[in-house]
């Protein structure tokens, strides 16, 4: 995730996927990446995320939105 996360989250406030197919394509990339670890292949996608300590994309986007709102209110 070290390589993918910065790319996906770059300017996520501006490019926040709202359409189902956009969200699915981001999730599909995360699913493929997490499944490559041989020790995690037998786990479900949600279990792999928990094991790796990766939040779900929707939660991460909401978190970044809250941070952005907080920063805007400071100025």
Spans of all domains in the chain: 5-74
Residue 1 has pLDDT above 60, yes or no: no
Provide the Cα torsion 13, 6, 74, 65; round to 10°. 40
pLDDT on residue 31? 85
SS3 (DSSP) at 4: coil
**How far is the C-alpha of 71 from the C-alpha of 68, rounded, in Å?**
5
Q: What is the pTM of this model?
A: 0.58
Residues 47, 68: Cα–Cα separation, whole Å: 29
pLDDT for residue 3: 65
pLDDT of residue 66 exceeding 80, the answer is yes
How far, in Å, CA of 57 to CA of 9, rounded? 9
pLDDT, tens digit, 9 for 90 and up, residues 16-53: 677 778 778 878 888 888 888 888 888 998 898 888 88
């Amino acid at each position: 995730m070290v390589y993918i996360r910065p790319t996906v989250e770059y300017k996520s406030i501006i490019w926040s996927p709202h359409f189902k197919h956009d969200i699915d394509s981001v999730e599909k990339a995360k699913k493929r990446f997490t499944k490559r670890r041989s020790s995690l292949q037998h786990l479900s996608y949600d279990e792999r995320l928990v094991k790796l300590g990766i939040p779900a994309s929707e939660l991460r986007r909401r978190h970044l939105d809250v941070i952005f709102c907080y920063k805007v209110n400071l100025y």
